[in-house]
Amino acid sequence: MLLIDGVKYQLWTPKDEEKEFHPIVREHSKEIFGETSLYFDVKHVLKTKSGIGSIPDAYVINLTKPLEWYVVENELASHPVYDHIVKQLTKFINGITNQNARSQILDMLYDEINKDNVLKATVQELVGPTDIHHAISKLLSKLPKIVIVIDEKTQK
């Protein structure tokens, strides 16, 4: 137990990645990726040119300079590092080099933004007079950062 300013906190470890951990990451995405970041919790497969694919947990775009985008994998420390996590990351890295996969991500992000008028207005304010599609396209022309959000730091 941790006591801060009279408030008691107990260590909690999520048991179910999808039901317990993913919602917490989504809820705290601005603290993790920055105040002007947008967290897209969409399941979109990243495929290599040979058709091998893997599905990241989310895509994040940060619209503060320097503009960045992230491929996000949320993991529990209890998952096997080399047999599970490293295999996924390798597939992400190989898939992201496929220009067709990036074009699909661009379309998916643009569609998600256009579905929500408030989100669209927020993005437009952040990118200024630039067309949203063009701004995202330019952002996705750079390689992303691949981020693992994990529930606990381990030796591995």
Asked whether 63 and 38 are in contact (CB, 8 A), the reply is yes
Task: Kindly state whether residue 128 falls inside one of the protein's structural domains.
Answer: yes
Task: Kindly state whether residue 31 falls inside one of the protein's structural domains.
Answer: yes
Task: Kindly state whether residue 102 falls inside one of the protein's structural domains.
Answer: yes
Asked whether 148 and 89 are in contact (CB, 8 A), the reply is yes
**Crossing angle between the packed helical segments 117-127 and 99-115, to the nearest 10 degrees:** 120
Structural domain boundaries enclosing 142: 14-150
Residue 13 has pLDDT above 80, yes or no: no
Which of 15-24, 26-35, 100-109, 121-130 is predicted least confidently?
15-24
Domain count, the chain: 1
Task: Kindly state whether residue 9 falls inside one of the protein's structural domains.
Answer: no
pLDDT of residue 43: 84
Task: Kindly state whether residue 26 falls inside one of the protein's structural domains.
Answer: yes
Task: Kindly state whether residue 108 falls inside one of the protein's structural domains.
Answer: yes
| 143 vs 153 pLDDT, higher one | 143
Asked if the peptide bond before residue 66 counts as cis, ω within 30 degrees of 0, the response is yes
Task: Kindly state whether residue 115 falls inside one of the protein's structural domains.
Answer: yes
- pTM for the model: 0.85
Residue 80 has pLDDT above 70, yes or no: no
Task: Kindly state whether residue 96 falls inside one of the protein's structural domains.
Answer: yes
